[in-house]
Structure 1
């Protein structure tokens, strides 16, 4: 680790003095294990509780020794010294970097237990249901050894089941489920209806994925409201439009717009003077643009599939059907109309929260990942978190071959096929990391033409994925996958039972092939890290072409010249350096996008905190009644006729209704403002300054308007012994709510958008 000293001094990390202290404590813990091992379970538990009675760890070395002995007794897993070091760093609030296969699951469970013994409630955050359920059951005996409770929250659970689970000392749950439960709790009108009450610590598995890659993904709670899909006629007319004649698509494939020719054609067919007249801009033109987006930019079986009569999105970065996700702003309904399906009901956004804002709700955040160093800037800037690098238990034996560079995508893909065939002929297992679902399917199809049996990892069943991953290291296996981050299962040489471990070792271990560089080196390293587990041998090799997105985008149109060989390959240090430069540029672009988006989100997150506090005050006190009583003559009269508890409950329900409605309206307004901020910004102000000015102005009026409306409603709505009858005034809350994740993540990218029409690229 000495080689990292300069880095940590520059970044202000905890790699230096604190890591040395950690290593010394771990050595002391190892020395105490033999003596403590003679003590009974009851004695160990009593001593652990004594050490943590103050809410802190009084003797770290002894505490680690006790946790180590408990892991051995309950799980049959004795932690390595590096794992104890990782536990200590987590307990002190770091994000730890541990290589794949080094035992992060046990480390997380030991740290969770440590926090639990300190009296802290812990949310152990995972990336999917499967891992939450698996880890809670697998690591449960260790937690229960100390008299603590453990539970898992998964998507299929009922409200009552969730409420019970969240009462556990340690709760394993997917990040999106925690977020959705936070949002649903924002609708309650009685504190007893709350599902969860937060936690003291969030310990995040795959921390860089949650805190960086997906940080700005909005989780949305919506209430039923009629949908506004493009009419059948508009959908049919747009379907006939021709690209580059009637509409154009921008270079990055994210926007489509009508040409003058296309606009005039639609105007004639719709029998209107102009799509841009005031009477059509807010209705007809909106529907045309939605239909055009669905027609020109979203491709069936690439961006979505149709299953059981419904549109299901594909998460390109993970290669799975994204059950919880849907498109925003009417795009979902437009795609359903395009496919001739029943258009789902639209929804008013009741509340929304990004994963980044969700994590800021926890007093303490720590986490684990295999690639934290590359995300140091983001973790420090956006969360004030420091990174600790944990050494491997066994030295790395993986061979990282230099990238193979080709002039064109076609040349590169031919070489990828040849390389996989050559490795497969030896029996060495191969894991291929692709950039998106379409590429993985096309590659698998090409390989099958050579009678190579291929497992493709883009299923939606996480348990099935775990089985495929566990077997990916067996003799002769070829596995093609999209993003490997968050898969959560180690690839063991010789298969899940490791029966053929030694045979695979002789073949060179797992060979990992990347079909192109990702837009960040961190994602490259996530894929590389699948080989070379626990001192096993392995190979990592990336193929790159000068037509790959990372080069085209990072190169920003700059010309580079090179003379390729007959097979299209390029051997040039200058070109390799150029590719590294392009990747650094794209990393900088993503960081800038994150920074700018964070600035927009930060103000709304701060305003949401104010709403949260106001809501808590209304829920937990009689403040709503006091405010209405001061302003309403009717309140004085009703106070003589009805029990005070009934009036307090009625006032609370009315006040919360208008506060929630006002917040929902505010979110909708600010979403519109953000979409058009480049038009609203005045000459001497930047868009973000103008956005902040509008957001602050509108928010100032929200609270007072909610109170005024609540008083008006209290004066008009029927109130009797059963409470306030809001429904009779048309003020009912949504009869149904639903949750989704907005899929348009600014940090997401297919990586190879040049590969449209990918079915033929491996020919």
Structure 2
């Protein structure tokens, strides 16, 4: 029975079809300009950029310029790169310009598509950010596509790991900036820890195009980006707890792989308590007494490390370090760390050197970072399965862009075997057959461990010529992927998402030329060698096509359909033939955790013999349902994270906005005076209750508070004894004395020095209290979930208490700033003092469900102005050359005093 919706789609087309169709007239208009633009000289074509900019200055809308600008960018691409965007690529570019997601199959040229809306939007001069998943792609694309922008008169910058602040500032000032999502988010947080506006590197958030948008805005959105600073060393405690965990048996804990949790049983808790008590680590009677919060944290992490994390699957041990394996890409992530002590627990488990923990200084989720852009767009090969999430969270509509040529790939039904051993036998058999007929084969696995197990089996079975692409060999990944389309090639890969290099049948000519010819100078000999390579690849392509094109053979289903589709999509690019098939067993993780327990028994009853597979479309549907369950759970996790982060984000925007105002403000004297008055009002109200008799006033308490916060020793007890004295009189006298002292200090310091001192004190105090506030919010977040047992909504509780904590922080800010400014004294000329320095910091990218840290790289995160400089490299006359100076070090100016009593006196 055909539904009414199905009939309507047949007659009117789907909403996606209608969106694509509506863009066709513009495509025809762009095509109509092609001959006119081809007739222009390079300089005349370049001059159109200046004309477009003038049109925008005169009030023209970007949408009005889309047709001529896209036509210009297409002609620029043809001349600069020899690549002319297809009509479907123009449609993709329009989707991106309108602030949507363009879903384009692998090999359809997404990198080139982005140049069209980037060129158009860069004409405003406000900057366009193109976001990639790794530094290699950011650098490659900025150089490759940058030739188009430079040809048309635009500037191009790239942000990669290890750049200085000056280099970053220059890159952000360009018309087009390529960068990774981590670098962009981290620069945003670092900017909001700077003490001068001129030190900030970003210049706003105008328009961003996110490549592999599903990877960045979906997979990595569970992981907030965090800046942290080091805490004291607690390595001994990790080793002690690790030894206790080894004494527990399977009956002492329960592991739930589905939810990724491990908890102690009642008996296990009792056994742990006895061990801890004997070692003198337990305070009070119970492990769960409030004094033992830190111990509970340690033992839970140690249990997770031993029971939920596997060596060579979730991490590897290399050079006395635990190196995380990215679950989505199978890459090693050197320098990145699990959060909240979990990485230290793994270090204790594997007996490597334990690195110190860190404290959160600033954080933001990718959802809230990317929602700051005035316009956001994205492109990927697989987004439609997550269309609801893109719409709900980012307001982005997914449009499936048609392929340039019809897809000729054959997607076969899954083959399901009873055991893993039977499955691998079938896989090896299939690889042998495809290799014998000269068909290139890409074998997809879900982990390093499984890719190496399969590689070992192939070697045992006599295979010699094959490549393994996983986290251990990521340095060679681009060249491995580029040549995976040669006839008979066998490539085993952990995951193909975001690799950024197409698998071309016959091999990749550009990569071969770069590898084989290297730095050979231009000339007849090089041209001949290049032609020979192109001819060889053309012949190899014909052979690969005749053998059936690229065969994607997957050894397991991933938790997400999208990852499976990414792997499948590697085959059948640009109308090439291709084939894909998934081989599964009932012992696979997805089948075991989410499949039916009764399936094995059922298959045996049906008479399934050893080595036989069950193949049926119903199996595919059942698996799809299991994957949908996982996707729905992950969506809920991300949605929940965002709800809590939105509470912090409102406060973050207030604090960061306030910091920028403070840095830009010429004079903070009025703000400081208001803070001082608020403190006086609060002190008087606190010690002199409303409508109370003077005998009930706490004069002694007010006297002590005025000394503490205002540094004034006033005869308040004597004032209170005066006949007819009122509360307002006391307030006015304190205010008068405080203002007199502040005005005297301002006269002595001079306006410039006073402005510098006030800004330094307010910013540093605000930063210090904000960090404490973040820790308080983390603690609140970790316990607020238990409020649900009392029939109270944890999110509402978090909002209410989070707001109270924020108000308390602002009150503390007024008191702390006033107390400092009422005590500060001039030691030397402030003009000589270097700007205040932010602490050493580290970047983290923490997964809420696994605790994985995807960006814990110290080298990236150390702030430029917090660098350590050797004493001999410091110029005593130039504080800018001093770098980070310890508080108790001799001052580099040569005065003989400690830094804190000399140039560091205001810090």
When normalised by structure 2's length, the TM-score is 0.77
- Asked if 2 retains the 8 angstrom alpha-carbon contact of 1:646 and 1:721, the reply is no
Aligned: 1:469 with 2:469: no
Distance 1:556 1:238, change over 3 A: farther
Taking the aligned partners of 1:572 and 1:547, their CA distance within structure 2 comes to 18
Taking the aligned partners of 1:363 and 1:429, their CA distance within structure 2 comes to 45
Taking the aligned partners of 2:637 and 2:473, their CA distance within structure 1 comes to 32
The residue that corresponds to 1:82 in the other structure is 88
Q: If you compute each CA radius of gyration, which structure gives the higher value, 1 or 2?
A: 2
The offset of 1:206, in angstroms, is 0.5
Distance 1:358 1:5, change over 3 A: farther
The offset of 1:232, in angstroms, is 6.3
- Of residues 491, 503, 506, the one that matches 2:543 is 503
Taking the aligned partners of 1:51 and 1:277, their CA distance within structure 2 comes to 67
The offset of 1:455, in angstroms, is 1.9
The C-alpha deviation readout for 1:695-751, integer Å capped at 9, x for no partner, is 222223222322222212222344445449999xxx9866421212224556999xx
The residue that corresponds to 1:391 in the other structure is 402
Spell out structure 1 runs of 4+ moving beyond 6 A.
Answer: 2-5, 7-11, 556-560, 724-727, 746-749
Higher relative contact order (CA 8 A, sep 6+): 1
Distance 1:458 1:715, change over 3 A: farther
Taking the aligned partners of 2:426 and 2:473, their CA distance within structure 1 comes to 32
- Of residues 607, 610, 615, the one that matches 1:566 is 610
- Asked if 1 retains the 8 angstrom alpha-carbon contact of 2:413 and 2:616, the reply is no
The offset of 1:8, in angstroms, is 14
Distance 1:365 1:462, change over 3 A: farther
Distance 1:255 1:653, change over 3 A: farther
The residue that corresponds to 2:261 in the other structure is 254
Q: Say which is worse superposed, 549-558 or 615-624, in terms of deviation.
A: 549-558
- Asked if 1 retains the 8 angstrom alpha-carbon contact of 2:131 and 2:181, the reply is yes
The residue that corresponds to 1:537 in the other structure is 577
- Of residues 291, 296, 305, the one that matches 2:302 is 291
The C-alpha deviation readout for 1:84-131, integer Å capped at 9, x for no partner, is 121122112121011101111111123211211233311100000000
Q: Say which is worse superposed, 134-143 or 279-288, in terms of deviation.
A: 279-288
Q: Secondary structure at the match of 2:250?
A: coil
Taking the aligned partners of 2:340 and 2:832, their CA distance within structure 1 comes to 33
The C-alpha deviation readout for 1:264-283, integer Å capped at 9, x for no partner, is 55246425574526475134
Aligned: 1:201 with 2:217: no
Aligned: 1:742 with 2:828: no
The residue that corresponds to 1:336 in the other structure is 347
The residue that corresponds to 2:162 in the other structure is 156
- Of residues 741, 765, 771, the one that matches 1:664 is 771
The residue that corresponds to 1:189 in the other structure is 195
The residue that corresponds to 1:36 in the other structure is 37
The offset of 1:617, in angstroms, is 1.3
| 1:104-183 superposed matches below 5 A | 104-183=110-189
Taking the aligned partners of 2:618 and 2:83, their CA distance within structure 1 comes to 49
- Asked if 2 retains the 8 angstrom alpha-carbon contact of 1:95 and 1:366, the reply is yes
Distance 1:5 1:174, change over 3 A: farther
Q: Secondary structure at the match of 1:311?
A: strand
User: Which runs of no fewer than 5 residues in structure 2 stay unpaired?
Assistant: 510-536, 677-737, 854-907
- Asked if 2 retains the 8 angstrom alpha-carbon contact of 1:247 and 1:257, the reply is yes
- Asked if 2 retains the 8 angstrom alpha-carbon contact of 1:237 and 1:266, the reply is no
The residue that corresponds to 1:417 in the other structure is 428
Distance 1:716 1:365, change over 3 A: same
- Of residues 636, 639, 664, the one that matches 1:595 is 639
Q: Secondary structure at the match of 1:391?
A: coil
The C-alpha deviation readout for 1:228-256, integer Å capped at 9, x for no partner, is 33526614522532431444433434324
- Of residues 271, 275, 292, the one that matches 1:281 is 292
The C-alpha deviation readout for 1:137-163, integer Å capped at 9, x for no partner, is 111111012211001111022222222
- Asked if 2 retains the 8 angstrom alpha-carbon contact of 1:629 and 1:636, the reply is no
Distance 1:16 1:120, change over 3 A: farther
Q: Secondary structure at the match of 2:582?
A: strand
The offset of 1:584, in angstroms, is 2.4
Distance 1:232 1:96, change over 3 A: closer
Distance 1:574 1:31, change over 3 A: closer
- Asked if 1 retains the 8 angstrom alpha-carbon contact of 2:338 and 2:851, the reply is no
Taking the aligned partners of 2:456 and 2:50, their CA distance within structure 1 comes to 58
| 1:613-628 superposed matches below 5 A | 613-622=657-666, 624-628=668-672
Q: Say which is worse superposed, 641-650 or 270-279, in terms of deviation.
A: 270-279
- Of residues 481, 501, 506, the one that matches 1:494 is 506
Taking the aligned partners of 1:4 and 1:318, their CA distance within structure 2 comes to 41
- Asked if 1 retains the 8 angstrom alpha-carbon contact of 2:288 and 2:296, the reply is no
Taking the aligned partners of 1:217 and 1:667, their CA distance within structure 2 comes to 16
The offset of 1:551, in angstroms, is 3.6
Q: Say which is worse superposed, 288-297 or 441-450, in terms of deviation.
A: 288-297
Give the aligned length.
Answer: 743
